[in-house]
Structure 1
């Protein structure tokens, strides 16, 4: 199996949608909202992808300042290709793009906790989420 890893190559929204659906991440992403998915791609400044020929099989999608913090918002590997080290390679390729002091930060689904511990992440309980503004336009 020859996997090719690429940094910041364009992918289209349908490729992204299909990959999310083929991975476990599709359950927690707006796969039926193509404008939202397009916005996710357009506003990411670091995307590392894995390809099997012309097929997109995995993605690490991040937003970063490249020096202090990198928020890894998606790490998705097609179920057919999981447990082959592709996720680890995506993480390593992402880190290679970052400065030496830049931390990789993510919010993981509870089922992924063991995976992230295994690949070297440390758990941090200090995460806060502010949901979008309500219809009234004010923070609840």
Structure 2
């Protein structure tokens, strides 16, 4: 039986997730349990090794976040760092593996892009290993002159 998923002010039908308790509910804000988020992070190679304390600190410094819930289970997450005018960077978009392929990731990104407090931002930026997913949402690849400095790896401080 299909599942009705609430997307902003619309409801759409998606295949029922395995072991689903019901409707996917989306929420804004960083007031979430780090333990819930770490359970999701453990499914992603890019997030392995994160700790409760680091996750608490990250949530405290995150400007905006969008979550997806199936009952009390956190099944999706995405966060934003921004100046609320010129630039916003999207980080850590993740969907529980049991819920992937059902539009939740798309819904998370669209909710970020339509977020009322982010409506003035002229450019959203992100790093990804899944460019095709984001291209379908209107993102485009740009040649960057960006650089990275990683603490502890060839770091030189004078």
TM > 0.5 fold call:
yes
Q: 1:134 to 1:113 in 2, by over 3 A?
A: closer
Partner of 1:10: 31
The alignment's C-alpha RMSD in Å is: 2.1
Unaligned 5+ runs, structure 1:
none
CA contact (8 A) 2:30 2:62 kept: no
Which segments of structure 1 move beyond 3 Å, counting only runs of 4 or more? 133-137
44-53 vs 120-129, greater mean Cα deviation: 120-129
Q: CA deviation at 1:59?
A: 0.4
Partner of 2:126: 106
TM-score of the pair, normalised by structure 2: 0.76
Partner of 2:147: 128
Unaligned 5+ runs, structure 2:
4-22
Bigger radius of gyration, 1 or 2?
Answer: 2
Q: CA deviation at 1:94?
A: 0.7
More strand per residue: 1 or 2?
Answer: 2
Secondary structure in 2 matching 1:88? helix
Partner of 2:15: none
In the alignment, structure 1 residue 117 sits paired with structure 2 residue 135: yes
Distance in 1 (CA, whole Å) between partners of 2:126 and 2:50 is 23
TM-score of the pair, normalised by structure 1: 0.84
Distance in 1 (CA, whole Å) between partners of 2:97 and 2:155 is 41
Secondary structure in 2 matching 1:10? coil
Distance in 2 (CA, whole Å) between partners of 1:118 and 1:131 is 31
Distance in 2 (CA, whole Å) between partners of 1:66 and 1:85 is 26
In the alignment, structure 1 residue 28 sits paired with structure 2 residue 49: no
Q: 1:38 to 1:31 in 2, by over 3 A?
A: farther
Higher relative contact order (CA 8 A, sep 6+): 1
CA contact (8 A) 1:31 1:37 kept: no
Distance in 2 (CA, whole Å) between partners of 1:39 and 1:102 is 27
112-121 vs 30-39, greater mean Cα deviation: 30-39
Q: CA deviation at 1:102?
A: 2.7
Distance in 2 (CA, whole Å) between partners of 1:31 and 1:104 is 27
